[in-house]
Amino acid sequence: LYGTLPDALGRLGGTLKVLALGDNQIGGSLPESIGNLSNLELLSLNDNAMTGSLPATLANMTSLSHLVLSSNSFRGSVNVLESMKNLTSVLIHSNEFSGELPGGIFDGVSSDSSLYLDVGINRFSGDIPSSYGNVPNLTFFGATRNGFENNTVDNITCDNVEFTIMDCSACSCCNVCCDPSDDLSSREICDFHMDSFRLLGLECGPWWMYCNEPQTYYDVDPV
């Protein structure tokens, strides 16, 4: 698929639960009308050629649980994410987002949900919010190749987040850290990002029509 997302997308209103258009050639920006998709649970636009900033109308997507925008050219602030109270996974790796990370991501999310945040390879700066260390069930936090302050991650965050990967200069207590000047294995770590479907268990989520049907196996070399 190629082209841009039409403004008419918002006319689907509360009927659409999944919009999965990853790994295509879609360009342009997110239309303001996307905020009308109030029942959308999964928005996956990874690996496209999209640009522009996140519209403020994203805050109207009150059912959205999974936001996957990795590998595009989105830019600007991500402060609108603080207003989205049902997010459990935010995968925005490999874009041009900038500014400071908001401290209120995942505020209000149910404490029994596993949470994932991948902001690696962007242009974020400043300090990592200390509030991340108090987020229940933050399972993965990836933030390599940004411009965060030295030693910005505190021990509470390292102790309470199940797996953290950051630049070594920004985090001395992380499970794994990235040093771009180090050997090949470290550089591979620097480029690590989550598979938005397989690692989150979304490859067979309730939205896929045939997931729960019995598997059919075909003999590739029938007798």
DSSP labels, 209-221 = TTTTSPP----SS
More confident residue, 189 or 185: 189
What integer pLDDT is reported at residue 119 of this predicted model?
Answer: 95
Do the Cβ atoms of 158 and 174 come closer than 8 Å? yes
More confident residue, 180 or 173: 173
**What is the rounded distance in angstroms from the CA atom of residue 216 to the CA atom of residue 181?**
49
> Which are the contacts of 204, defined by CB distance < 8 A and separation ≥ 6?
211
Q: Are strands 96-99 and 75-76 parallel, antiparallel or unpaired?
A: parallel
What integer pLDDT is reported at residue 198 of this predicted model?
Answer: 61
**What is the rounded distance in angstroms from the CA atom of residue 114 to the CA atom of residue 107?**
13
More confident residue, 167 or 109: 167
Secondary structure E strands in 59-106: 66-68, 75-76, 89-91, 96-99
**What is the rounded distance in angstroms from the CA atom of residue 64 to the CA atom of residue 89?**
10
**What is the rounded distance in angstroms from the CA atom of residue 192 to the CA atom of residue 188?**
6
The stretch 49-73 carries a mean pLDDT of 95
pTM of structure: 0.86
Do the Cβ atoms of 19 and 207 come closer than 8 Å? no
More confident residue, 159 or 205: 159
Do the Cβ atoms of 136 and 125 come closer than 8 Å? no
